[in-house]
């Protein structure tokens, strides 16, 4: 492993600026990649490193939609309350997703939004590309005009390996996967709270 340090600044429309120490590496194991991008949690979040706030909100909104019974619609107000997303911002995002064919919308007292495709077919990558545009990860992380093996970029090898892992995760994780994971997490937390309450009652 070559020990060197570089400051990385990603300047993308709608994305928080990043500033992290990046040691150059030839070891592309998960442990090494964790060292390549040391996240400064005080200045930005993991999500802002991967996609925009709009894409984050879109992903969060589609999870409860994946849990709706067949044929039912969810109101923007209901989704905003459940996800904690500002309703005016959420309404625009849902309208954009409906226009792109990922959602179906209807008006009226029982109107709202629902998925227009099976949740198993809607991957995180599709949502990110819908909100942020295709080719988001094709650019040079070092600010060069293009990203390829012929460009002299100190960050290229480490970034290429990490980018591949990001793309695999986004492309291999569907809204159905996220909805299932959220449901399992909520059940686990509920069991933990019940056990805690039972222990407290036993000591009383």
In this predicted model, what pLDDT tens digit does every residue of 78-114 receive, in sequence order? 999 999 999 999 999 999 999 999 999 998 777 799 9
Cα dihedral value 81, 86, 88, 91, nearest 10: -60
pTM tops 0.85: no
The span from the CA of 19 to the CA of 47, in Å, is: 14
The span from the CA of 32 to the CA of 186, in Å, is: 32
User: Quick one: pLDDT band at residue 47, thresholds 50, 70, 90?
Assistant: low
The CATH classification number of 52-135+174-204 equals 1.10.10.10
Domain ranges of the chain: 7-50+136-173, 52-135+174-204
What stretches of 20-91 adopt beta strand conformation (E)?
20-21
Residue where the block lists tokens 């706030």: 53
Q: Tell me which residue of 108, 57, 103, 99 sits closest to 82, measured CA to CA.
A: 57
pLDDT value of position 48: 56
């Amino acid at each position: 492993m070559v020990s060197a340090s570089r400051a990385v600044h990603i300047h993308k429309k709608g994305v928080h600026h990043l500033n992290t120490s990046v040691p150059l590496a030839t070891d592309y194991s998960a442990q090494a990649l964790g060292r390549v991008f040391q996240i400064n949690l005080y200045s930005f979040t993991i999500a802002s490193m991967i996609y925009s706030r709009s894409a984050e909100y879109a992903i969060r909104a589609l999870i409860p939609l994946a849990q709706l019974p067949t044929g039912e619609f969810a109101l923007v107000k209901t989704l905003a309350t459940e996800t904690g997303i500002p309703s005016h911002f959420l309404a625009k995002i849902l309208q954009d997703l409906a226009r792109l064919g990922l959602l179906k919308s209807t008006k009226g007292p029982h109107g709202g939004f629902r998925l227009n495709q099976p949740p198993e077919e809607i991957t995180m990558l599709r949502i990110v590309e819908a909100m942020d545009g295709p080719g988001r990860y094709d650019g040079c992380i070092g600010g060069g005009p293009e990203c390829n093996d012929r460009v002299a970029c100190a960050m290229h090898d480490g970034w290429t390996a990490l980018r591949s892992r990001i793309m695999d995760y986004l492309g291999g994780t569907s809204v159905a996967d996220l909805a299932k994971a959220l449901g399992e997490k909520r059940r686990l937390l509920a069991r933990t709270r019940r056990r805690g309450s039972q222990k407290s009652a036993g000591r009383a």
